[in-house]
Amino acid sequence: MSHDTSAAPAGDADRAAVLDTARRAKDAAVALATASRAAKDAAVVAMADALVAETPRIVAANALDLARARANGTSEALIDRLTLTPDRIADIAEALRSVAELPDPVGEVVRGYTLPNGLEIRQVRVPMGVIGIVYEARPNVTVDAAGLCLKSGNAVLLRGSSSAYDSNLALVAVMQDALAASGLPRDGVQLVPGTSHEAVKHLMTARGLVDLLIPRGGADLIRSVVEESTVPVIETGVGNCHVYIDAAADIDKAVAILVNSKTQRVSVCNAAETVLVHAGIADAFLPAALAALQERGVTIHGDARMRPYAEAAGIPFAAATDVDWAEEYYSLDLAAALVDSLDDALRHIRRWSSGHTEAIVTDSVEASRRFIAGCDSAAVMVNASTRFTDGGEFGFGAEIGISTQKLHARGPMGLPELTSTTYVVTGAGHIRG
């Protein structure tokens, strides 16, 4: 019996389109889960080659997004993140080729042993299945996510921001053609249809068709996905990172680490947003640190005890409020406070941290040990910049994001974090008595 859907409400049509896309991804995931490493690597390299070959098509599509962004008054910083040039496309393609060279996590034995009764137990990595990625602005994420998911044997549903819609449409079409030419299902990489938030909601509630959602972007995007989704979610990215300068810190190291953590690149989740300085080292540390920060254009949002140091250094200063202690600035702004002990620093961090990265600078082994034990974050740095919390810096080769939650994956997520596990139990006619 046929049904006339021509008069169906637009919302129903949108939902049907998203669910159809998810069903096709589910079918594709079956084939990808059993694909050999050679087949997956060849497909990833084919996608890279196709992106380079189709550069004029991609740049033309990107121009439509850029024109729309400028007409809407989008900031130049966001326009730069949105822009695809031939050189940037070549870099994106090269990153894909690097993914092809990484070890395949699928089939890896996490642990294996033989029971006294002779049963062989193996815990083996297997693909998640269908992974949905919800992200903002940067079209390079479209390619990165597709490559990582394909390499780990997963189908991927990509939902970028509407600002990059034409760019993403072209990128996905090019990658789908390359997949099909490589003998793998083109539906292994798909763009979620629609540009409205309703389309995202349909993706977030496609439980049973989508196995995992990963949001990448600002706090509002991540909160929306976490609160509205019925599909399991891994939270990523929000980084209210702290640097604690201990009483036993080496001054030169402490200044270098703080300046690098805050200013090396401000628009990333692993940049420091708050510095806590032990009062016992303030007179020695703060003049040098504030001078270095001032040279780089930093504004201090400090407590009352920090004000006289800032005024003496001539660095821009504003009185800190609870908003500052919670803020992920993405700018040359730094919250700052003096603390009387390591325990005071830990109390501040536990109250305000987003669980991303905390750093201690100290020459005291005991202080570092207590700091590590007292922090509840995905990464803890000892005498190192917060900027090292990154899949590439950790030697993973690539990452899908940085998880700040505690289930399944925490910290930078490489290929293994895009897999689950299956227990394979092998017997010889065993029955349970």
Structure tokens at 172: 């996905």
Quick check: 176 and 156 in contact, CB under 8 A? no
Tell me which residue has tokens 């996608």. Answer: 47
Nearest to 225 by CA among 205, 195, 196: 205
Q: Do 201 and 331 share a domain, yes or no?
A: no
Q: Is residue 7 part of a domain?
A: no
In a domain, 195, yes or no: yes
Indicate whether 280 and 162 sit together in one domain. Answer: no
* Residue 394 located in a structural domain: no
Buried b / exposed e along 340-365 (16+ C-beta atoms within 10 A): eebebbbebbeebbbbbbbbbbbeee
Lay out the sheet containing 155-159: strands in order across: 189-191, 155-159, 130-135, 212-216
Is the residue at 403 inside a domain? no
Q: For every one of its 433 residues, what pLDDT tens digit does the chain have, with 9 covering 90 and above?
A: 334 444 445 568 889 999 999 999 999 999 999 999 999 999 999 999 999 999 999 999 999 999 999 999 998 878 988 999 999 999 999 999 999 999 999 999 999 999 999 999 999 999 999 999 999 878 999 999 999 999 999 999 999 999 999 999 999 999 999 999 999 999 999 999 988 888 899 999 999 999 999 998 878 888 889 899 999 999 887 899 999 999 999 999 999 999 999 999 998 899 999 999 999 999 999 999 999 999 999 999 999 999 999 999 999 999 999 999 999 998 999 999 999 999 999 999 999 999 999 999 999 999 999 999 999 999 999 999 999 999 889 988 888 989 998 888 999 999 999 999 999 999 999 999 8
Report the number of distinct structural domains present in the chain: 2
Structural domain boundaries, residue 108: 15-236+415-424
- pTM for this model (two decimals): 0.88
Going by C-beta distance under 8 Å and a sequence separation of 6 or more, which residues neighbour residue 197? none
Asked if residue 106 and residue 65 are part of one domain, the reply reads yes
Instruction: Tell me, yes or no, whether 400 lies in a domain.
Output: no
Which residue, 62, 352, 21, 314, is CA-closest to 187?
Answer: 21
Tell me, yes or no, whether 281 and 191 share the same domain.
no
CATH of the domain at 316: 3.40.309.10
**In 10 A of CB 323, how many CB atoms?**
9
Residue 50: CATH number of its domain: 3.40.605.10
Is residue 196 located within the same domain as residue 305? no
The helix (H) or strand (E) run that includes residue 216 is strand 212-216
